[in-house]
Structure formats: C-alpha cells, structure tokens
Structure 1
Amino acid sequence: MLNKNLISAQTEKISALQQTILGKLIILLAELLFALPVGFVLARFRIGGVAWIFGGIVSGALVLTAYRILSKETAEPNKTVRKIGQLLVGLVVGFSIAHGDMSALYSQLHIFIFITLFLMLSGIGIGYIYSRISQTNLLTAMLATTPGGIGIMSSIAADYGKNASVVALVQIIRVTTIVFFIPILARILAVNDANTVVSIFPANFFSTDILYLALLLLSLALTFVSVSIANIVKIPAAFFFGALVVGISFNYLLNLFPLLANLDFKPPFLISLIGQAFLGISIGEYWGSKPNLGQKTIVYALIPVGMTMGAGFVAAAIATFLTPWDWLTCMLVAAPGGSAEMILVSLALNHNVEIVTAGHLVRLIAIHASLPLWLLLFRYLDRLLPNSGDN
C-alpha cells in the first residue's frame, strides 16, 4: 500500500510538472507569435534594428497580463527565456566580430575596468540616497541600484531576508528604461555618422540551402556544448559568453577542413530576430507579473534609475576624454545595464561592435567575479550605517 501511495504521489508530481512545462511553452509561443509582428510594425518607424526587443517587451507584458486576468493566477517570469535570448544574440555577435581586430582593445582594458568600478561605486552612493528617500533598508537599496542583473540581485536579497520585490522592481525599471532610451538616442546620434548603416531587413533573413542548414545546426550544437562547459566552470553570463566563443571561432574551425575552407558562414537574421524577441520578452514578463505596483513605489524607484543613467552618461563623458572613441561608442559601452541589448544596438548600427562587446564583457566578468566582495561591503555598510527600514 505504501509503495502504491508513493508511486501515485510521484505520478501526480510528474503530471503537474508536465502541465507546468506545457503551460510555459504555450505562453512563450503566444509571446513570440505576438512579439514578431509588433517588431515588424515598430521597424517601419525606423527605430533601428532592435525593434524586436521592443516588440518582445510589449508582448511579454501583455500576454502575462492577459493570462493573469483570464486564469486569475500570476505567472512567474520564465528565466530560461533570457538565457536562450542571450545564447542566440551571443552567437550572432560572435560571428559579427570574428574578423575584427581585437588586439588593440587590450590597451584600453583599464578604461573598461574604470567604467565598471565607476558604475559600481556610483551604485553604492545612489543606493544610500535611495534608502534615505524611500525609507528602505540599506542592503536592499544597494542591491537594487547596483548594476548586476535582475535575477542575481533579487535572489541575493531573498537569501538575506530583504525585500526582493523592491530589488527586482528597481532593476527592471533601470533595464527597461535603458533598453528603450539608449537605442533611440543612439539612432539620433547616428543620423549624421557616415560610417553608420542601419539594416533592419537584411538579405540573409533565412536560407533553405541544405549545406547552410547543416552548418547552422552544427553551430547551434557547438553552442550548446560551449554553453554547457561555461556553466560547469562557472563563467559569468555563460549562455552569452559560450555562444560568443563559438561565433568567433566557428569559421576558423571550418577552415581546418579543405572542403570547407572557402566558406564564410553567418547565421541568418532570423536567429538575431528571435534572440532579440526573447530578450524583450524576459523584460516584459517582469512587468506583466507585477500587477499591484503602487504609484509611490514606482516614483521612488524612478529616482535611483535616473541617477544611475546620469552616472552612465558621466562615465561616457570621461571615456571620451581618455580614449579616441566617439560619444556614441562611449555611451554604448557605459550604458548601465542590458549588456546584450547594448551590444545589439551597436551591431544594428554597425558601430564599433568590437569595442562595445569588449566593454560589456569586461564589466560582466568583473561584476560577477567581484560580487562576493561587493556583497561583503554592502553588508558592512548595512551594519555600520543606520537603517531606514527593515526590508
């Protein structure tokens, strides 16, 4: 009898898991089907090659809102969506910079590190101001205002019994604002740049050639292996970094085989389009899953977001004096958040993709690698300075 009960319980768990997975797939399919046409509509307004990120944001928010209204339940954001988006975008970016000259960037490594430290230290100061204004616990405020990822910072807040919802809210407002504002500003700044080319509907949208499809499947298989290895060795942003490595090295590997030596494979634009949509959906889902945001809470959250963006502009201004880069490049490098999105903007504008990619990779690695030290500092300041709130 006991064994039958155990088997019955396990069967119910498996059935519930299958239903959960099926539900998530249906929601994701609905979001993707809605995001792509919205992206095409937005692309006609010439907002640049990242229109499908915007389409994904709209789609993710509306689909989860509709799901909540119809089912009377709140669906949690699907964390896997952003990982897949980072994987696809990382692969596209890797192929785009494979033939670029990355050697000159080593001499600018100190600039990338400076921007990272500047944004992290600014985040501490902004967090302190935010905690005083909003009467929020200091540790909560610093986790909310330091660029480091929505999921990571909110999970740390939950681990220490702080207000993870506030952390997630401020982080998602920051990322959403930057993803909306920076591409539009970049597009305006790029109008008079003769070297900037915006390509929204490229010729290589997709190909049904047998060899091309085989190479595409091979690149995706190698990406899966690379990402798995990156996850095992705990590399920061493993999905983006692992795919980036494959994109950079794929054609070099093909050249090792005489029959494939003359090929120059590039993934179809459809891969970039889906990756962009997934990145947007991951942002939109956070908005769709938060139905009860008070006006006061949002107003308080906008204060540190505005200050963080201001810190990013200051960092970009300093970088223009220390480097030969133009203002647009410095702004894309220093934008405080949405690394994959900012790299996509530079790729869509065909504007110094190697520099922007290197800057954000250095920041991702530095922030994730030093996160334990920053967390110790945050906790020390939390104990040292008087708190304004419990959470």
Structure 2
Amino acid sequence: MPCGFLEGCIVPNVEQSKLQARSLLVALEISLASLIGFGLLAIGLGSAAWILSGIAAGAIVYFGDRPFDPDIQPNRNARKAGQLIVGLSIGLSLPIDRLANFASQSLILLGLPIFLMVAGGAIGVLYSRLEKIDLMSGLLATTPGNIGVMSSLAADYGNHIALVSLVQLMRFTTVIFSVPLIANVALPNSTHTVTTFVGQALNVPWQTYAKSSLMITIAVVIVHFATQLNIPLAAFFGAIAVGLGFEFLSILDDLFHVDYPIIFNVIGQILLGITIGEYWGINPRLKFVTVLRAIVPVGMMLIAGLIAAAIIHALTHLSWLSCLLMAAPGGSPEMIAIALTLQQDPEIITIAHIIRLLTINLSLPILLGFAAYQTAHQPSDSSPRHTSKSSSSK
C-alpha cells in the first residue's frame, strides 16, 4: 500500500474532510451575513449592521448544522481572522501624534477596567448565590472578558460550562445590539445607506487592494510569532501594532500610506459576529427559569457600564456616546469598530479597551486563585442546584 499504514491514509482524508466542511460553513455564514447586513443597512442600522448580521448568520447556520454534527464547536480561527482584519483597520485609524495626549487621563484609563472587574466580581458572587452554583462559575460568568476564554476556563475546571457561556453570550449580544440603537438615536445622520456602501466598495483602485493584501500578509506573520509567545489576544494586538507601524511609515513616506478597503473591514466585522452567533447556535437548551435568572447578572453588568460611563463623562470632555463605548462591557473589537464607524474618539476608546483586555487577562490567575480559595473553604454540605454534568455544553 502506498501509505504503509491504514491510518496513514484515513487520518489525512478525515482532517481534509473536516477542513472542507468548516470552510463550507464559513462561506455559507459570510454569504448569509452579507444578505442580512444589506437588509440592516436598508432599515438604517449602519453602525453595527455587519457585526449583527454575522451573529444572526452564525446562529442560523450552526443551529441548522448541529443535528448533523452534534460535536460542532465555534470556529476560533474565524474570530482570530476577524480580530486581525479589524485590528489593522484600528491601527491605521489611530493618529500617532494624538496618542501621547491621553497620558493625563491615565488614572481614568486604569481605573475603568479595575471598576469593571470589581463590579463583575461582586455581581459574580451575587449570581453564584442566586443560581446556587460554585463561586468559580459565578465569577467566570460575570467577568467582562473574552467569551471563548471564559468558557474554556469553565471547561478546564469542570464547572457549569453552559451557564458561563449563557451569561457571557447574553452580555456580548445585549451590548452589541443596544449600543448601535443608542448611537442611532444620538447620531441619527451617522448611518450608512446601501447606496453609499456599494459606491465606497466599488470605488477602490487595485493598488489599494495590493497594499492592503501585503499588510495583511505581514500581520499574519507577526500574529503567528506573537501566538507562539503566548501573547494574549495576539491576533488583535498584533494587527493593531502592524496598522500603527504602517501609519507611522506613511508619515515618513507616502509610499506606505494604505487606504483600507471598506470590504475588508466589513468581512472582519462579519467574522467577529459569526463566532458569537455560533455560540448561540450550539448553546444547550436550558430551563426558562435558568435563562430568566441569567438576565439579572447581565442587567447588573450593563448598569455597571452605564455608571462607569457617567463617571467618565463627568470627569472628561468626551461625549456621552464615547464614554459609553469606552465603558460598555461588550467585545472590545466590536466596540472599537462601532467607534470607528461613528467617528467617536476612536483613539481613547481603543486605548481604554486595550487596557481593559490586558488588565482582565493579567488578573485571571488572581481571580481563579481567589475563587479556588473561597471554594475550598466553603461548607461541604452545600447542595448546588446544577451539576457540572447537567450544565456542560457537551
């Protein structure tokens, strides 16, 4: 036999089939999201139309595919690709000469993530008692971090994966849905129409696509090495760094100036939304009462974000919408993408969310240690309402 061993022939074919199936799903999701996105643009929801369409497409496709593949999992690579594409757009949109001006607001920028972390911790304690689950799961459910990271930690510790995913999903989705609605009320003339989008997408010279493709290739290489070094959110931070590098080089020589095609940015936003939708598509069916109780911590996290926004608004000259985008406990790439679309102080909003992401990721060991210590000293006669087996998303 050419392969020598039977498994040597079968395993590559199996892996190739999985890759082809996953690629087909992504293509289907992007196609469906494009149709939904144009529909959202048509009704005037322009500030986050593509992220929302990605959520809807991911949920629909994965919900439909789940009966055929019960073990299907969200496509982490799609979200990384979205973070890379959007991160480049963010880096190119940050005026380097203005970044140093925010040093005077360092206390606010550092205080915001600490406030959100403390608020999330307090809400997690309350939610663990309300739902009668362990403290670890309560804290992982209410910490305003990456949904994939929090769900993975819940899986590693074997604690109520479904509840953690549910609360994190509701937080992400609620923020991403509500912020554009607030933005459309605050800035009714800021949305893009279908005609405007099509005109911008078609009026792009080939040189722009060539430069952007080269920049994306460089970003992929940088992100690969950053991932090997275990840098948190390597795709997002690495792409922002590459975008900033090209922005700096363009100041020295206009040859390096890159006009990022709008179609690339749209694809990136769709990919960001798709992963959130995929989590909805595979989320296990929980009791209605359980879902209803999950609204409590989500609502409290939103209130904490509003309080933080109000404090920032009182201490700075920033608009209320900018303060809301800084403090909103949603996905950082999504909030920054909305800020870029609305042209609402993207520099300080980007810095605020980068600091929040770094603070949360660096604080996770402390959070997990605290939860483990508290769990070890809890009375042994406690009887949680949910078991790990019943709460598992598998």
Q: Does TM-score exceed 0.5, indicating one fold?
A: yes
1:187 aligns with 2:188: no
Q: Give, in angstroms, the shift of residue 298 of structure 1.
A: 1.0
Q: Give, in angstroms, the shift of residue 206 of structure 1.
A: 4.9
Match of 1:85 in 2: 82
1:306 aligns with 2:299: yes
> Residues 221 and 207 (structure 1 numbering): CA distance in 2 closer, same or farther, change over 3 Å?
farther
**Count of aligned pairs between the two proteins:** 380
| 1:150 maps to which of 131, 147, 150 | 147
Q: Give, in angstroms, the shift of residue 161 of structure 1.
A: 2.1
1-structure distance, mates of 2:186, 2:377: 44
Q: Is the contact made by 2:136 and 2:375 (CA closer than 8 Å) also made in structure 1? A: yes
Amino acid at match of 1:278: L
Q: Give, in angstroms, the shift of residue 338 of structure 1.
A: 0.8
Match of 1:114 in 2: 111
Q: Which moved more, 1:293-302 or 1:261-270?
A: 261-270
Q: Give, in angstroms, the shift of residue 65 of structure 1.
A: 1.5
Q: Give, in angstroms, the shift of residue 108 of structure 1.
A: 1.4
Q: Is the contact made by 2:208 and 2:261 (CA closer than 8 Å) also made in structure 1? A: no
TM-score (normalizing by structure 1): 0.91
Match of 2:135 in 1: 138
| 1:175 maps to which of 150, 172, 177 | 172
1:11 aligns with 2:9: yes
Amino acid at match of 1:109: S
1-structure distance, mates of 2:107, 2:312: 11
1:296 aligns with 2:289: yes
Q: Give, in angstroms, the shift of residue 159 of structure 1.
A: 1.6
Q: Give, in angstroms, the shift of residue 254 of structure 1.
A: 5.0
Q: Give, in angstroms, the shift of residue 222 of structure 1.
A: 1.3
Q: Deviations over 1:165-221 (max 9, x none)?
A: 221111111111111111211221234xxxx84445355425664432321221111
| 1:166 maps to which of 163, 168, 172 | 163
Q: Which structure 2 residue ranges, 5 or more long, are not aligned?
A: 389-394
2-structure distance, mates of 1:267, 1:388: 55
TM-score (normalizing by structure 2): 0.90
1-structure distance, mates of 2:202, 2:368: 45
> Residues 89 and 103 (structure 1 numbering): CA distance in 2 closer, same or farther, change over 3 Å?
same
Q: Deviations over 1:345-386 (max 9, x none)?
A: 111111101011110001111111222122212222323445
| 1:219 maps to which of 208, 215, 227 | 215
Q: Give, in angstroms, the shift of residue 88 of structure 1.
A: 0.7
2-structure distance, mates of 1:336, 1:208: 35
Match of 2:316 in 1: 323
SS in 2 for 1:101: helix
2-structure distance, mates of 1:40, 1:294: 35
SS in 1 for 2:232: coil
2-structure distance, mates of 1:302, 1:284: 18
| 1:336 maps to which of 329, 333, 341 | 329
> Residues 246 and 206 (structure 1 numbering): CA distance in 2 closer, same or farther, change over 3 Å?
farther
1:237 aligns with 2:230: no
2-structure distance, mates of 1:197, 1:208: 22
Q: Is the contact made by 2:184 and 2:190 (CA closer than 8 Å) also made in structure 1? A: no
Q: Which moved more, 1:268-277 or 1:97-106?
A: 97-106
- 1:332-371 alignment, distance < 5 Å: 332-371=325-364
Match of 2:392 in 1: none
Give the share of equivalent positions with the same residue, in percent.
38
Q: Is the contact made by 1:126 and 1:304 (CA closer than 8 Å) also made in structure 2? A: yes
1:282 aligns with 2:275: yes
2-structure distance, mates of 1:224, 1:98: 23
Q: Deviations over 1:110-167 (max 9, x none)?
A: 2121110111111111111111111111111111111111111121122222122221
Amino acid at match of 2:29: E
Q: Which moved more, 1:215-224 or 1:34-43?
A: 215-224
Q: Give, in angstroms, the shift of residue 58 of structure 1.
A: 0.9
> Residues 250 and 131 (structure 1 numbering): CA distance in 2 closer, same or farther, change over 3 Å?
same
Q: Is the contact made by 1:81 and 1:279 (CA closer than 8 Å) also made in structure 2? A: yes
Q: Which structure 1 residue ranges, 5 or more long, are not aligned?
A: none
SS in 2 for 1:311: helix
Amino acid at match of 2:207: L
Match of 1:40 in 2: 38
